[in-house]
A and B are shown apart, each in its own frame.
Chain A
Amino acid sequence: MSGPVKSAPIADEHERRVTRLVQIGFVAALGALWYLATNVWGMSPILLPKPQGAFNELLDILRSGEFWPDLFLTLAELAGAFAISMTLGLGIGFLVSLSPVYVRIFEPLLAGVYAVPIILFLPLYVLFFGLGASSKIALGATISFYPIVLNTIAGFTSIDKLYVTSAKSMGASPTVLLRYVLIPGALPIILSGLRMGFTVALLSIIGSETIASLAGLGHRIVNLAESLEIARMFAYIVFVIAIAATLNGIVSRLEASRGMDK
């Protein structure tokens, strides 16, 4: 872990504490606003439930364990989608990166398609695969394929030619080159592609559950909205956000620990 020491400004303890305080104050103010709006200013509970009500609902959801089937389905869809996009993204990305010629031809095509909001394919996938899990998996896989494949290409092409030349000059075989130069060199960028892919896969799966589905966490929220059980819907929203934040946190952690150690 040697290297140039960052000439970071000397942010002392005091300043850090003030920053934290402002942040906590900001969140607390929002919470207070929520409380006041619903309890004192009489905001309609259909638009915004009372915080204490939503909290009780959350406790109830957690205690009853009714979230398990939905959570399990959403996570299974996520796993399926990510497995597909990872396999295809890494594989195709690697193949394309084998020659600058391929990169020049295929990278712009892939990047061009990426500009299309892929959520548009959802109706199509619903037509092909129905309202069940397969359409969600297909959409999640499609969306997360792009950041993975693009970053895989970027990762392999970002490697300094000097490393390759010097490894070859020392007699490295293609396998050795791949194992000890190309993969470690490309890894940080590939990992960040995987992280981005994971995030958008999660998003699109919950999204497609919200828009058109029969089950899953996204569907549960819509159901509650339609039956105007707003407090419980809020509780589910918080629950899903917490799950998403946890998953993203884990993935970012993984990326940081594997990507930075050189």
Chain B
Amino acid sequence: MQDQNVSVHIQNVAHSFGVEGHAKHVRALLDTTMDIHRGELLALIGPSGCGKSTLLNVIGGILSPTTGTASVNGKPVNGPMPHDIAYVFQENALFPWNTIIENIRLGMLFQGVPKSDHEGRARAALKAVGLSEFADHYPGQLSGGMRQRAALARALSLDTPVVLMDEPFGALDEQTRMVLGEDLSELLSRTGKTIIFVTHSLGEAVFLADRIAVFTARPGRIKEVIHVEEPHPRKASFMTSDKFNGLRNRLFDLLHDEIRKTVNLGSGSTGGF
């Protein structure tokens, strides 16, 4: 029944935190159904707490949804699927006590890659993100942007068909984000991976994604899906094109009302997702 072209299938996924009826009960994500195709870059964007990270974690098997199922390459997700999915987290998730290359090797060790392959694949991944010279540095010795590159290298070295990224550039400054975004577009068009990433940045979403899923304010659901239809790799000049600006403005309009809603009710108890 499933399309060969579908990489990730989300069926009626909904999630709540806490126990129903309790004060702390929060409905994070309403019933969501969606297909993500092979080789596609999908951006999830929406106001804080709209459940986009929740959805990402459900796909990644980090969180089991209250209802519904996700499946990756036809296999239902019941927990982490290290052979199918690699993760790049928002925070620096490199082990601080290991050097960059040790971090990458450790990922492969966890995943079960034969030891003889570690070195070659780690070097290749470092080269792909342009960090070859920093292999023996500790994460603490690198800038935020370089750390996220290293995290990306670790994810790439795992050689999974799907990569999930939770605001991978969220903590970086605007310039670094732009450069990393360009590199990412370039890199991903070569690897043909399915990428799902969460972002707060309108520009980043338009620049990187093939499709953009716009979420409503909490409880979140997908309000609209925007198609970008621009071939990868994308050049920096795309950012100044009318098409880019048109899509960006459209996103802004869609999000504006939703963000207002969260800002108006959100100053007290919520947040933190």
Contact = CB atoms under 8 A, between A and B. Distances in A.
Interface of A: 4-5, 7, 10, 12
A5 B269 CA distance: 7
A5 B26 CA distance: 15
B231 interface: no
Interface in B204-258: none
A4 B22 contact: no
Nearest to A7: B272
**Chain B CB within 10 Å, residue with most, of A4, A10, A12:** A10
B interface bracket (residues with beta carbon within 8 Å of A):
under 10
B24 interface: yes
B114 interface: no
A5 B271 contact: yes
A10 B19 contact: yes
A4 B272 contact: yes
B74 interface: no
Nearest to A2: B268
Interface of B: 17-19, 22, 24, 269, 271-272
Contacts of B22: 10, 12
A5 B24 contact: no
Given A10-B19, A10-B22, 9 more contacts: A4-B271, A5-B269, A5-B271, A5-B272, A7-B272, A10-B17, A10-B18, A10-B24, A12-B19
A257 B18 CA distance: 31
6 contacts: A4-B271, A10-B17, A10-B18, A10-B22, A12-B19, A12-B22
A251 B24 CA distance: 34
Contacts of B18: 10
A229 to B, nearest CB: 55
Contacts of A10: 17-19, 22, 24
B64 to A, nearest CB: 16
Contacts of B269: 5
A12 B19 CA distance: 9
A1 to B, nearest CB: 12
A53 to B, nearest CB: 49
Nearest to A6: B272
Contacts of A5: 269, 271-272
A14 to B, nearest CB: 10
Contacts of A7: 272
Nearest to B267: A2
The 10 tightest CB contacts between A and B, nearest first, are A7-B272, A10-B18, A10-B24, A5-B269, A12-B19, A5-B272, A10-B19, A10-B22, A4-B272, A5-B271
B25 to A, nearest CB: 9
A10 B18 CA distance: 7
A12 B272 CA distance: 20
A7 B22 CA distance: 15
B271 to A, nearest CB: 7
B49 to A, nearest CB: 12
A40 B240 CA distance: 89
